Amino acid sequence: MKMLTAIIKPFKLDDVRDALSEIGVSGITATEVKGFGRQKGHTELYRGAEYTIDFLPKVKLEIAIAADQVEAAISAISSAAKSDDGGKIGDGKIFVTNLEEVVRIRTGETGSVAL
């Protein structure tokens, strides 16, 4: 089992969710987060004053999946989250980590059955 953690632009959430649903991924946790990488924020004007926005709004997705679905899920997330013009800095990242155990609280099922 693997845990995919994807950081994407907020307006791409529906596209990514649809792409994952098409390949059979049924469970996703989404959290609104803020952060920056190579984008390093930007400046905005508000009432005549210039402000630096260091932390940009992002969405963090956490997806627990079977190991044999990892490549398909990465491909689905990458294609759905990429900017329409071929990709830009700030499109996001995907992290893959090993998932040692999963327990379904309601039934007590463990392992891949609990996914």
> Per-residue pLDDT tens for 31-46?
999 987 776 666 667 7
d(CA 100, CA 44): 44
H or E stretch at 17: helix 13-22
pLDDT per residue as tens digits for the range 53-95? 778 899 999 999 999 999 999 999 999 999 888 778 888 999 9
CB 37 within 8 A of CB 9: no
In the chain, what are the domains?
A: 2-114 (3.30.70.120)
